[in-house]
Every structure is written in C-alpha cells, then in structure tokens.
Homo-oligomer: A and B are copies of this chain.
Amino acid sequence: MTKPHIPTKPRIEDVAARAGISAITVSRVLRAPAKVAPATRARVAAAIEALGYIPNLAASGLASRRSGIVALLVPTIDNAVFAPTVAGLSDALAAAGLQLLLGDYRYSDEGERSLVRALVGRQPEALVVVGIVRDAALRAMLLRLAIPVIETWDLTEDPVDTILGFSNYEAGAAIARHLLSRGRSHLAFVGGTDQRARARGEGFAAAIAAAGAAPPRAETADGSTIAAGRRAAAKLLVASPQGGNEIIDGIFFSSDGLAIGGLIECRHRGIAVPGRVAIAGLGDLEIGRELSPSLTTIAIPAYEIGRRAGEIVLARLAGAPASDPRGDPCGDPRGSERVIDLGFEIVARESS
C-alpha cells in the first residue's frame, strides 16, 4: 500500500483530482461556495486541507483580471506621522480581503516614477498616494490606467481622480494666526523640502503678511528628525547682529519631529519656551503631549485619511461611479466628491 503522493506545491488540479471533481468546481468552492453542493464542498475542503493547498494569487489575478491588490505609495515608511494612515487603509481593505502593496519612494522624484511603474505592473485595483502626483507623465499614465487613484494628505482642485486630506496651506496659515494671537510678531518657519511642507510654509507666510507682521524667516530641514529640528532651531536662535528687534519669538516646524528638536535646542540654550519663543509642530505625536512644555501642534486625522481612502476604494470597486472630472453640477448625483476636506485642528498646548 503506497501513500498517496502529496505534491510540494499542489495546484488546483491536484485538489480536484483528490476530491474527484473538476478544477472549476474547486475554484467555485473558493470564490462562490454557495453555488456548490454541500457534500462536494466538504470533499473539496478536505482535499484542500490535506494537501495544504494555497491558491496561486498571481494566476488567479491574471485570469480574473482582479489582482486583489491595492497599491500605496508613501514618501517614506520611516516617518511616524504616516503610520496611522497606513494602518487605517490596511484596516479598511483587510475587511474586504484586499492586500496592500506598499511602495516607499524616499522622497525622490525619480524613485517615485520607477516605483509607480513597478507597483502598476502588479495590476493593482486601486492606487492610494500620500501626497499629490505632480509629474505630468505620471498623471497621464495613472489617468489611462482607469483605476481609482486616491491622493491624500493634501488638497488640490484638480486631483487625478479623488483627493482626501486637508489644506497644508491653510494649516500653515492657521498656526500663524495662532502664534500672532499669542502676541508673537517675529516668526520663523522650519520645514522640509517636500511639497506639503512647502505649502505649510507658504500659508504661514501669507497669513503673516495678511496680518501686516514682519515676513517670517525660513530654515530648511532634512527629514523629520529631532536632530534636524535642533540644527535649524540653532541657526534661528543665534542672536542676529542687528539686535533685539530681530529676535525670533515664534517658530512653526512643519512636523512634530522637528518641533521637538526645537524644544530641546531651546532647553539646551536656556531659552524659555514659551517665555521667549513659542514653538509649534504638526502631527500630534504622542510624545509632544507628554513633554514639558507640552507641544502645540496641528492634529491631522491621519488614521481617518487612510480609513476613508480605503472606503472610497471599496465603494468604487463595488461599482460606485467616479466623480465627473468636469465637475458638471447636473451630473450623476451619485458621483462621489473629487475633493474631500477632512480638516485639521490646532491643538494649543504649553509651548505657545
């Protein structure tokens, strides 16, 4: 008596043979079990179990033209502020059995292009991007793809498809008004070079101009580390030769990581916060709440952005129409919005 042969990598045919039926019925048990007789279903299940069969999702996706993949493009995975967005998206998609293919382009334009090509090659059913796709060729490519493309963490009037987030420009403006309302008049901005940080800086400067205050000084920071924040703060806090009039009394850092560096640099230099200088960041990291002084920040609904992006993807895959790119007010009333503002919140704490 020989043991039945168990193939190392069983295919659907092996399961079918063992269950004494055809491959197509095995496929049905996996995809539409209600259409299969209970007895057959049980035999197939037993065969799957016995063989340890795991469907080849690449083959399945090729045949069905549904990959079961949603691609997510982030500037960098190594930034705590995006983690909740990834988690929110992952939660929303997991419920529908969709897998997340994560690409991290390290804030490089060239990296973004080649990464999108690599991700798109996997035939994702939708693409979620942290940020706005600016490259014209890339936009054109995504448009032709005809899959849902959800841009996030920003707003624009002409998204590729749908954008979901908040206005970085308005966030910068709001924190400027907050600092001005606290009596600060010599403000500075510390930000990264990415588009969102720049927009925050522009809004910050615009609100200051609108209030008639002195234009803000600006320092560039690499990344979102505490060390980068310290370096930028150090440059700003060196007393200028012109004297007291030029002394900065409020700094907005484009992210909490940088702002914490600012807080720490002030402590090291014996500069009182908020006594002599007020400090604010963005992201509402947990540590900012716990420091002394606690950090004023702009809270972003990061998890919510991810979750809503996932829900929009699911609705679209389930057949909801894309919104009308022409913005026709008489268009299909079911057409979803193209621009969804989830807002932000100024969280005033001890540092301002």
Contact = CB atoms under 8 A, between A and B. Distances in A.
B87 A83 contact: no
A54 B117 contact: yes
B292 A8 contact: no
Given A8-B144, A87-B77, A141-B52, A122 B226 contact: no
5 contacts: A54-B120, A54-B141, A56-B62, A77-B77, A77-B83
Contact of A58 (B62, B83, B90): B62
A231 to B, nearest CB: 13
Given A54-B141, A58-B122, 6 more contacts: A57-B118, A57-B121, A77-B90, A78-B84, A99-B118, A226-B290
By Cβ-Cβ distance, the 6 closest A-B pairs, closest first, are: A57-B121, A58-B58, A102-B102, A264-B290, A78-B83, A58-B62
Interface of A is mostly: helix
Contacts of A264: 290
Contact of A260 (B104, B227, B290, B292): B290
A77 B67 contact: no
A42 interface: no
A80 B77 contact: no
Interface string A84-127: 10110010000000011111100000000000011111110000
B90 A146 contact: no
The quantity of this chain's copies bound in the complex is 2
A59 interface: yes
A83 B67 CA distance: 27
Contacts of A261: 290
A118 B54 CA distance: 8
A67 B58 contact: yes
Contacts of A119: 99
A274 interface: no
Interface in A108-160: 117-123, 141, 144-146
A244 to B, nearest CB: 28
B287 A121 contact: no
A77, A87, A264 pick with most chain B CB within 10 angstroms: A77
Contacts of A217: none
A293 interface: no
Contact of A77 (B52, B54, B86, B260): B86
Contact of A225 (B55, B78, B286): B286
A61 interface: yes
A317 to B, nearest CB: 17
Nearest to A230: B290
A118 B103 CA distance: 18
Contacts of A62: 56, 58-59, 62
